[in-house]
Structures are given as C-alpha cells and as structure tokens.
Chains A and B, each alone.
Chain A
C-alpha cells in the first residue's frame, strides 16, 4: 500500500451478519496499516457496533436498504464512516451522551451503550452533520500511534 491517502468503500444489505464481513475486511486493513493486535480488535468491535446500530436503528432492519462504509487511509490514520439511509434519523445534536453512572442510576436512557462503548475503543467518534433524508453518517477514527496516548 502506498502512503498517500486512499479510499476504500464497501456496501452491504441491512441484515445482521454482514457486519462481520465488514469487520473482517477492515480488521485486515488495519493490521496491514501496522496497528497492533489489541487496537485491531478494538476497531473490529467498534465497527461492528456502529454497523449494528446502522442496520437496526438507521435502516430499521430493512434488508433492501444499504449500509455504506467508507475507509480513508492515510499514513498514520484510518477514518471510517458508516452510513445508513436514515429511515430513523438521529440528529447529531440530540446525541449528547450520558455517563454510565447516570444510565445505571436510571437518570438517563439505557440505550446508547453501543455508542459509549465505541467511544472507549477508538480515538475519535461521532455523528457527522446531516439532515432528514440524507441518512445518518457515523465517523470513527484511529491513529497510529494512538492519539489518546500521545496526549496523555
């Protein structure tokens, strides 16, 4: 692979199980980019969660609707955007995340654990700005070396 920026795209039906294929493909990509095994596993888990959210919530498990994944590779960074067709739209502004303590205390919805988990596994994540009809676009980024360690 060259060190210039490159883009890989993937598309699959909104059926549970296909996220495993995306997870395997992107795990291989991350390993080839030099991410260590633990970070590859973190990314695989985070990507699975993001895809399942897109299948179950964004596309409401309607198999004919597509999940689209775009991976942008540069020298030290892998950026992945998971997009659905937005049958159920999540405005980015409404996704202020509650803490695990708030959720366990019943002060916030117990939904959204997947997003919380993703946030613990990758260096950056969040919904990109979008409008109804444009689908939901969830972005994950991993740096090599990790950005979190670099700033700690």
Chain B
C-alpha cells in the first residue's frame, strides 16, 4: 500500500519493519500468544501520508514507562530478556507514534509516516 502511495523504497522498508515490530508486540505481549485473540491493523491513507493503527485485545496493558525508555545496550546484553527494542525502533523509524487504549480494551499503537512532497 505504501509503495502504491508513492513512498520511497527505504521508507517502505522502515514501515514494514515498524508494522512487523508492532504486530509482534501485540501478539506476544498484548494477546499473550493466544491465537483466539485478534490483532487489528487499520491502514488509513491520505495526501499527507499513511496512518497505521495496531490494536490488540489486551491481556497485558502496556506500561507507559516502557514507551519512554531508551534501551541500554549493556543492560540488555547482561539480561535474560533480550527484548525491549521494538518500541524504541518503531519510534526511530516512524514520524509520529502514539500509544492509547483500544476500543476493545487492549493496547493501541498509532504510527504515522509522512509523504515527503
């Protein structure tokens, strides 16, 4: 969809990575790997860019502090949990990122990527 909207190849790759990270987070953390629970992804295109909402059905509500944290490479290397990079990466790749509660009660991540015109 982004390719068809006119985004450059590197921006399409950034979006692919960001959406992949967001959906993985929703499956693993929000929905706790329960395949009966849905992840809803809504793409809304406009002249300005593309908005992607990724919502889970939220067994585990995202800790707000996690969304602000910068991962520390030394801490991550010495920790059993090698995760924690996804949200940081999404924020690096996208132009706007917002976290909120989805209508279903789960987590909703909204990311926006702008068309450079």
How many of chain B's residues touch chain A, expressed as a range? under 10
A17 proximity list for chain B (CB < 8 A): 4
- Residue contact B35 to A20, C-beta cutoff 8 Å: no
- Residue contact A2 to B35, C-beta cutoff 8 Å: yes
Mark each residue of chain A from 1 to 41: 1 if its CB lies under 8 Å from any CB of chain B, else 0: 01010100000000001001100000000000000000000
Mark each residue of chain B from 73 to 107: 1 if its CB lies under 8 Å from any CB of chain A, else 0: 00000000000000000000000000000000000
Q: State whether the Cβ of B65 lies closer than 8 Å to any Cβ in chain A.
A: no
Bound complex: CA of A6 vs CA of B34, how far in Å? 11
How many chain A residues touch the partner (CB < 8 A)? 6
Main DSSP-derived SS at the B contact region: loop
Shortest CB-to-CB span from A4 to chain B, Å, is: 7
Q: Scan residues 1-19 of chain B and give those whose CB is less than 8 A from a CB of chain A.
A: 1, 4
Bound complex: CA of A17 vs CA of B3, how far in Å? 13
- Residue contact A4 to B35, C-beta cutoff 8 Å: yes
Mark each residue of chain B from 19 to 56: 1 if its CB lies under 8 Å from any CB of chain A, else 0: 00000000000000001000000000000000000000
- Which residue of chain A lies nearest to B2 when distances are taken between CB atoms in the complex? A21
Which of these, A2, A6, A20, contacts B4 with CB under 8 Å?
A20
7 A–B contact pairs at CB < 8 A?
A2-B35, A4-B35, A6-B35, A17-B4, A20-B4, A21-B1, A21-B4
User: What 6 pairs between A and B have smallest CB-CB spacing?
Assistant: A21-B1, A6-B35, A4-B35, A20-B4, A2-B35, A21-B4
